Structure 1
């Protein structure tokens, strides 16, 4: 085996990687740009162990680094091997990606089933990897022989060809997705939940009084006799939603705008 780079920890500031994620093994990749795009796809979904088997243009490759779009922690940890046997030598379970039908007696998974199998095996302490073939003709039968099972993507049979970056992205996505609870998003991308605690009653009363003062000069209350009933109805309407502090401040800002003046500091002017 000949290898360059080390599988050490990602450099400072690199995104977190999926714990025990599978190795991504590219067999004789031809273009540095494709290697870089694979690295970027891996980084997008938390994978970091990228292995290359005799890349055509050698390694390191500046075109790969440029195409990786700052996924430097993946690029810097790349390991290069002189043959496939060495690249998968430390793995217990290997999948081969291919779209072509072959007379090889191996189990065939879709990508979702495949990553579930990987996670199950890694839960038992097994190291796993996924093989991707050359840009022009994929993996040979001999190379697929190193795999325990095959992964085939559910694509349009009339246009079934995927490049290695697309294939790696699909598998990386399924890997991350399989580790999330139903409806969960990675923490970095989770939509923040606003505080929905109802505002203190004093703030609600302030809104009611502000609305009354804003309506007074408009003639809304019509006659002094009707004013108490109209105020009571308005207060009932304002009480119902359970406005938060931020919502009350936003509403008071709107009232101030209609009154043609800036909101007081305690009223607020936005949400």
Structure 2
């Protein structure tokens, strides 16, 4: 029985590309897929360090059309195609404070970084998956796409909501052709970027990042689990979703936020 379960979770022989995979959630996902047996390629502006340096690395800014083309060119030349694509690049880059603080440049960058980076790379790599009639695409979104905090992440949340809609439409288009598309929407996660943001948001007070987020979440119904997530917990979900064990899952958006989203 245990051997059978391990086989269903194994990614032996698979080639996976994880964007933004040099740190944070992306790094945890890259490491998790590698542990399951996949050959992992990481595309990021920042080179990986430590254990993740074992992954193949492509330096690219995926918020630009040139970045997506360069990654796809490298993939085709070195690997032919990928079996798994995790579109993880993204993040909150615009200031909080509501609509009046956001310029056209803020909106443009959030859309390029959090939506179009995935759209462009999908467009480059999906054709080879369709030729093989096999593949899995994971879009890393955010609970902000469903529950925006206007004080903190208005433009980012709008971009993630657009990613959710695009992901659903793409999944429905190609599910019958052998390629599964799924969305994972984490809540607050203990990455370097999130911890730095929470420290800045708290005014560098003595409150821990977890306490700061709990105080923020209390305005919107609280966080039942009582803590923010670890990157490895997000990676575990992704590892399952790209495995043969999840072969009948497509088109869904999986929220992983410790119960914070207050809707059915």
Q: Name the TM tier (shorter chain).
A: 0.3 to 0.5
Q: With structure 1 as the length reference, what TM-score do the two structures score?
A: 0.33
Which of structures 1 and 2 has the bigger CA Rg?
Answer: 1
Choose between structure 1 and 2: higher helix proportion: 2
TM-score when scaled to structure 2? 0.34
